Amino acid sequence: MKRTLATATLLAGTLLGAASAQDAPSGAITVTAWDIAAEALEALVPGFNEQYPDVQVTVENLGNQQVFDRGLAGCAAGGADLPDVYAVENNEAEVFWNRFPDCFLDLTALGADELRDDFPDFKWTELTVGERVYAIPWDSGPVVTFYRRDLYEEAGINPDEIETWDDFIEAGQALDEATGAKMLWFDFSDDGVWRQLANQNGCFYFDPEGTEVTVNQPGCVDAMETMKALYDAGIVAIVDWNGAIQEIRNGTLAGAVFGAWYVGTIQSNAPDQEGNWGVYEMPASEPGGVRAANLGGSALAIPASSQNPEAAMAFIRYALATTEGQVSMLRNQGLVPSYLPALEDPYVQEPVPYWGDQPIWQDILATLGEIPQARGTQYFQEARQIVTNTLSQYLTQNAYEDAQAAMDDAAQQISAAVGLPIAGQ
């Protein structure tokens, strides 16, 4: 029988008050996630059951959109048909916390505060509201530059000498002249590259408090100017996701600037290029600037209607807050850990043959502590679409005088769409 939210919340509080830290949870829980994320959680169940043999775990593997839609429908229906553990993308998380503040448990009562220092600050930004902790960080998308070693060498490019975006552009022009290959790719149906650059500059759609529109602030404008410079330099392939994969296979695309989850995309789609790939830090906006950003990532939450919150939290802790759980998902599914102690695991420090024996995970995860915080708010999708349209109009249609004018217009559109004021106005 399904409980109402109010009843479930009261019961959860009673259970938590009665339980001690030494109580071993038991009973059944259901975990809902999507695709490879669900596969990763399913693979952890045997290890979890070695510690908690009396907990029966069922993992539901649905499509990404199905999981999101089910969460919205379940919360709107007072918690009906929700699992005990619910996977949510960071960028979409605040839709739930804002629209349905009582749909998910505050995990503080289940020990979430004990985990604060085990994850980088940027991962908590969209998972907390005031003192309430609605979810525990899972994977992340630290941004790096992926590159073809052999094509760089053919063009006489040393990646260690690329520090800024100006350096990157100069190298890209040399690469194009020597090999005809492009340094990275843009997809004008998404603003992912802009988000990376804006995040690197400490700017995003909204301020860290989620109260003002900030896309026309200097860091965001600089991100747009950088994209314009890259585009105008002729070093960018304009393709969609599948087109980029094909160009990688063909050897006409020598790299990408993306979240670290792109490791799996390259490896699985170009197995014959083993040894020819490497990674280095994303270039900075200026000498000595930040060379880190994040793109993507998710978290695990517990609906207030869960009938077994202690067992649910035990599973979340095992999956997300142990080196064993995090490294297993990194090794087998390529999910990039957010859990900082995992950086010390020997596997993270091992050379990877496909990547020219570079210890890529050590290099990638070393950037976690440098990533600026960013808040998507419940209006992430609205802002994303507006910036995507503005980006295409500015870069390809010359619809604006300059980047500042483009982002001023985007700020006005976002403000009108979501009802938040523009910072400084």
How far is the C-alpha of 336 from the C-alpha of 357, rounded, in Å?
19
Across the chain, mean pLDDT equals 93
pLDDT exceeds 90 at position 206: yes
Whether 318 and 198 have beta carbons less than 8 Å apart is answered as no
**pLDDT score at 28:** 97
Domain ranges of the chain: 5-140+296-353, 142-294+362-418
Instruction: Give residue 420's identity as a one-letter amino acid code.
Output: L
- Helix crossing, 323-333 with 309-320: angle to 10°? 60
Give the pLDDT score at 375. Answer: 87
Count the neighbouring beta carbons within 10 Å of the beta carbon of residue 98.
Answer: 13
Taking only the tens place, the pLDDT of each residue in 248-273 is 999 999 999 999 999 989 998 999 99
pLDDT (tens digit per residue) in 376-420: 899 999 999 999 999 999 999 889 999 999 999 999 999 999 999
- What would the CATH number be for the domain defined by 5-140+296-353? 3.40.190.10
What average pLDDT score do residues 57-81 get? 95
Q: Output the pLDDT for position 8.
A: 42
% residues pLDDT > 90 (the chain): 87
Structure confidence at residue 22 (pLDDT): 52
For residues 126-149, average pLDDT: 95
Residue 61 structure tokens: 């593997």
C-alpha dist (Å) from residue 376 to 129, 138, 142, 212, 417:
13, 17, 17, 11, 15
CATH number of 142-294+362-418: 3.40.190.10
Query: Taking 70 as the threshold, does the pLDDT of residue 6 lie above it?
Result: no
pLDDT digits (tens, 9 = 90+) for 169-188: 999 999 999 999 999 999 99
- The pLDDT of residue 12 is above 70: no
Residue 58 has pLDDT above 80, yes or no: yes
Mean pLDDT calculated for residue range 144-168: 98
pTM, two decimal places: 0.86
Do domains 5-140+296-353 and 142-294+362-418 share one topology? The answer is yes
Residue 164, pLDDT score: 98
Instruction: Identify the band that residue 334 occupies on the pLDDT scale cut at 50, 70 and 90.
Output: confident
Residue 24 confidence class, pLDDT cut points 50, 70, 90: confident
pLDDT at 9: 43
Q: What's the pLDDT at 14?
A: 42
Bridge partners (DSSP) of residue 277 are 148
CA distance linking residue 321 with residue 421, whole number of Å? 38
